[in-house]
Structure formats: C-alpha cells, structure tokens
Amino acid sequence: MTAPPRAVILDFGGVVWDMRWDVSRGLETEHGLPRGSVFSTLYRSVEWEDVQRGRGDRQAWLVSAHRTLEALAGRPLPGVHERWRAAGGPIEANVDLVRRLRGVYRVSVLSNADDTLRARLAGLGLLDLFDDVVCSAEVGCAKPDPEIYALACRRLDRPPGDCVFVDDHEPNVHTAAGAGLRAILYRVDRGDDLARLLREAGVDASSGPRARA
C-alpha cells in the first residue's frame, strides 16, 4: 500500500493567487488584442526566461513586454499589464485550506517568479503560512526543470514520493510526476475544488498531526 503524503507543494500564481484570466481576456477584447497576448507578452518572452531565473532586470522585462503588446496593437496602449496584474488577489478558499493543512503537513510554495515573490507574500500576510518558499529567481532554475522539484522536496526534508504538487500549468504537472511527486492539475478558472483534489490524492487536513513528524 502506498504511504500517505506528508507534504504539499503549491504553485503561487493560479493556485494561491487568482490570475484573473477573465480580466486579461476582457482587456484583450477592449483593446483589440489577440487572445492570450496579455499573458504571452509578459510570460512567454526571452526577458522573462532570464528574470524568472534571477538573471534579468525586472523593469526592463516589464518595459519590453509593454512595447511588444503595443506592437501587436499597432498603436500606443495604456498600462494593460498593470491593470491585469492589479486585478489579481488571493484565492481565499485555498488560503484557508493552507491554514488547515499547515498543522498537519509540511506546506510550501514553488513558483516561477521574480525576486519580489517573498516580499509579496509577506505584504499579503501569507509568508508565515508556509514552511518554505522556493522562488525560481532566488534558486536560479525554474519549472519544468526536474531539479527544482527535487530542491523543493529536499528543503521540506521529504522524498518526492511523500509530496503532493499542485500547479495550474499542465507541463509543470507532468514533469513533477516524472520527478516522482504526486502531481495535481488545478484550474480555478474552471471551478476546480482544491480541497477535493487533494483529498483524492490522500491529503486531508483533518488527518491529524502525525504527518509532520
């Protein structure tokens, strides 16, 4: 019989933080932009690949993303990326779930993020909810590199098979599973229930403190 999980590793954007895909789509419609372009100009760029690994300049990345979006539009645009990013917020049901899980399991964040992630978590009052935060810009590698999953497990002092990983991006889920973690695809925008998905993977906040031993 497979042993029950003893740790939960969560992506930040899309799992703890609502990315508000409805807002990005609305902005694209408002400004006549191609579908998906608000996201892709920020997070599918060469500049972002460097920033998320701690090698690039954050402000230069944001400026470049805006210029690329304007080039797609063929005209000057207001701060579309800023409006989208400002619309996001914590997924309260999942934050509450983390609070309940924390007394039972080791819980961490594993995120492809720039080096402001830890400060953002602190500013939201969320940093102390987690046993660890693995930020790609701090460690110099990013999902879906198998090394970053192994690192997240080591920092929780748990083997991969003891860890459940949750992400909203399917390639990251596949590579986590390939690295030996129990991996879950979660999408808030399609109404997924994270507590139910975790229960199906053997994670239950009511299962008692034995899991942290």
Same domain, 14 and 28: no
Is residue 107 situated within a structural domain? yes
Q: Identify the band that residue 1 occupies on the pLDDT scale cut at 50, 70 and 90.
A: low
* Least trusted range by pLDDT, from 32-46, 168-182, 193-207: 193-207
Residues 14 and 25 in one domain: no
Average pLDDT of span 71-86: 97
In the predicted structure, residue 212 carries a pLDDT above the cut 60: no
Among 87, 116, 142, the domain-final residue is: 87
Q: Looking at the domain assignment, is residue 95 inside a domain?
A: yes
pLDDT at 211: 43
What value does the mean pLDDT of the chain take?
A: 95
- Please tell me whether residues 71 and 107 are part of one structural domain: no
Q: Among candidates 94, 99, 101, 95, which has minimal Cα distance to 204?
A: 101
pTM of the model: 0.94
Partners of 109 in beta bridges: 10, 133
Mean pLDDT of 28-40: 98
User: Would you say residue 58 has pLDDT above 50?
Assistant: yes
pLDDT of residue 205: 79
Same domain, 37 and 54: yes
> Which of 62, 87, 112 is a domain's end point?
87
Integer Cα distance of 31 and 54 in angstroms = 32
CA dist 123 and 131 (Å) reads 17
Whether 63 maps to a domain, the answer reads: yes
In this structure, are 177 and 145 located in the same domain?
yes
Q: Please give the tally of structural domains in the chain.
A: 2
CATH number at residue 180: 3.40.50.1000
Check whether 208 has a pLDDT greater than 80.
no
Q: In whole angstroms, what is the distance from residue 106 CA to residue 5 CA?
A: 10
Q: Residue 206: inside a domain, yes or no?
A: yes
Residue 183 has pLDDT above 60, yes or no: yes
pLDDT at 162 (0 to 100): 98
pLDDT per position as a tens digit, 89-103: 999 999 999 999 998
Q: What is the span of the domain harbouring residue 60?
A: 21-87
Instruction: Report the C-alpha gap between 126 and 108 in whole angstroms.
Output: 11
55/131 same-domain check? no
Could you say which DSSP state residue 161 is in?
Answer: G
Q: 180 and 113 in one domain?
A: yes
